[in-house]
Structure 1
Amino acid sequence: MRLRRAVAPLALCAGLAVGLTACAADPDEGTNGVGKLSASEIEGKALSAADTAKAVRLSGTLVSKGDTFKLNMRLKQNGATGSVTTKNSTFELLRVGDALYLKADAGFWSHETQGDDKPTEADAEAADKLDDKYVKVPQGDPSYKQLRGFTDMALLIDGLIGLHGEKVKGDRDQIGGVRTVKVRGGADGEGGTLDVALEGSPYPLRLARGGGAGLVVLSEWNKDFPLTAPSKEETLDYGKQLPRT
């Protein structure tokens, strides 16, 4: 009984000590330290990390000039591969250096080449031949620049990450199990909200664009992947100017 009475106060003291230690724990312990920086400094660190990266996966939605695009692209400095979905269709893009290829199903080619006109039998046959084949986009084609934009890592990252308005540091969060700190453009995030990794390199991991202009997730930073031009058997010539998508 005496031993029990002596141990009880010691246990209580130990519990209080642990509680006080936990309350005083540094929230940045075990992180890369960017959470201690100002909002503008955190954004700068994220931009620098992204600029020096060699590869990334970008997935999510972008809204531009009233059009919504759903992207799932793996990007690196010399090319990219992935898919783009618009209101009416889905197509795949593959870029190796400056060579850009587009692949879609017969429905895409039939719809895009005819618009509101009813496809002829010859048109249907042509679309069937293009079904699930790569079409090399000529660099002089008006669609080349637009389609290449979806495969340009530097262009996409630089165009997406910048926040507008006064930078404000927000709450902590987790993206894919990685701790992050938020940076907002404006007090309410009207200029966009960026989640920056607190573990490892301070890569940007998620961006909610201002004005409801889309939400994208950035993952697999620096994870390399193969890029190979399709074989001749996988490629067909469209034979005329590609449709504007």
Structure 2
Amino acid sequence: MTAIPQGRTRRAALLSAMCALVVTGTGLTGCGGDDPDAGTNGVGKLSADEIQRKTRTAADSADAVRLSGNVVTSGRTYRLDMRLKADGGSGSVTSEGSTFRLLRIDEQLYLMADADFWSHGDTDAAAAAKLDGKYVKVPQGDPSYKKFSGFTDMNVLLDGLLTLHGTVEKDGHHEQSGTRTIRITGDGGSGGTLDVSLEGKPYPVRLVRGGGAGTLSFSAWGKDFTLEEPKKNETVDYGPQLPTS
């Protein structure tokens, strides 16, 4: 009987242990060509169109979400970090070097910005200083209301964002921020790329919009948060129309 070299035996044992760790510890593909969807929600086995339907259904059923990243629209880039739910939202928006905070509770919208933000328009320095760091009520009849409230509307944002254009196809298994995903693309990526969670509900995790229109991450799906009216000393009622900004 031929003896097996001791070093080879140790290497085989080590390899076997590593494979077991990978499979049992993370649920990822093992060393023997195991099913990459083992231990997942099974969405990765579906067709690209079915995955798109499943993830949209999951998103529509969620009560809340956090959305962060860049959106490019009409040649202007907006950096968003918003928490959203059915009756409102809060967070920050940055555009062209200016950052402002938005808070909407039901139909009431508030905007907070610094003096520089307000002084870019037709507001004089004294008035801009009074608005600095204060929540300003945005009248519903003001042109800014529709523009800014859209950033706080969960349904409007998801309807406009979670759409891949062109022929939808699968683009393999991936990982985003520690979450295993299945990726689908529109027209090979030119129509957008969406990573869908393979853990728990098939929520959208990361979206790369087609045409260089921005990249967004989604998290905290279904995690409720509190929206509170600003205190009276934190709020300024500017009147029926905001200054041009």
Q: Deviations over 1:91-120 (max 9, x none)?
A: 100001111000001111111235xxxxxx
For the 8 Å contact 1:143–1:243, the answer to whether it is kept is: no
Q: Which runs of 5+ in 1 are unaligned?
A: 115-122
Q: Deviations over 1:171-222 (max 9, x none)?
A: 21111100001100012x0000000000010000000000000000011111
Pairwise CA distance, 1:162: 0.6
Matched letter for residue 151 of structure 2: F
Q: Alignment partner for residue 36 of structure 1, among 24, 45, 52?
A: 45
Matched letter for residue 215 of structure 2: L
Higher mean alpha-carbon deviation, 81-90 vs 42-51, is at 81-90
Pairwise CA distance, 1:240: 5.2
Pairwise CA distance, 1:163: 0.3
Report how many aligned residue pairs link the two structures: 233
Change (3 A) 1:111 1:69: same
Pairwise CA distance, 1:239: 3.2
Rounded to whole Å, the distance in 2 between the matches of 1:37 and 1:172 is 12
Rounded to whole Å, the distance in 2 between the matches of 1:160 and 1:128 is 36
Matched letter for residue 128 of structure 1: A
Q: Which runs of 5+ in 2 are unaligned?
A: 20-29
1:201 match: 201
1:107 match: 116
Q: Deviations over 1:49-75 (max 9, x none)?
A: 000001111011111111111111011
Matched letter for residue 165 of structure 1: G
Change (3 A) 1:222 1:235: same
Rounded to whole Å, the distance in 2 between the matches of 1:230 and 1:22 is 56
**Larger Rg computed on CA atoms:** 1
Rounded to whole Å, the distance in 2 between the matches of 1:179 and 1:200 is 10
Pairwise CA distance, 1:5: 2.9
1:77 match: 86
Q: Summarize the alignment of residues 172-187 of structure 1 with structure 2, pairs less than 5 Å apart.
A: 172-187=173-188
Q: Summarize the alignment of residues 1-245 of structure 1 with structure 2, pairs less than 5 Å apart.
A: 5=3, 22-114=31-123, 123-187=124-188, 189-239=189-239, 241-243=241-243
Query: How does the TM-score come out when normalised to structure 2?
Result: 0.88
Rounded to whole Å, the distance in 2 between the matches of 1:244 and 1:152 is 23
Q: Deviations over 1:115-163 (max 9, x none)?
A: xxxxxxxx21111111100011111111111111000001101110110
Q: Secondary structure at the match of 2:41?
A: coil
Q: Please give the root-mean-square deviation of Cα atoms over the aligned residues, in Å.
A: 2.5
For the 8 Å contact 1:180–1:198, the answer to whether it is kept is: yes
Query: How does the TM-score come out when normalised to structure 1?
Result: 0.88
Change (3 A) 1:29 1:244: farther
Pairwise CA distance, 1:24: 3.4
Q: Secondary structure at the match of 1:195?
A: strand
Change (3 A) 1:109 1:29: same
Q: Secondary structure at the match of 1:113?
A: coil
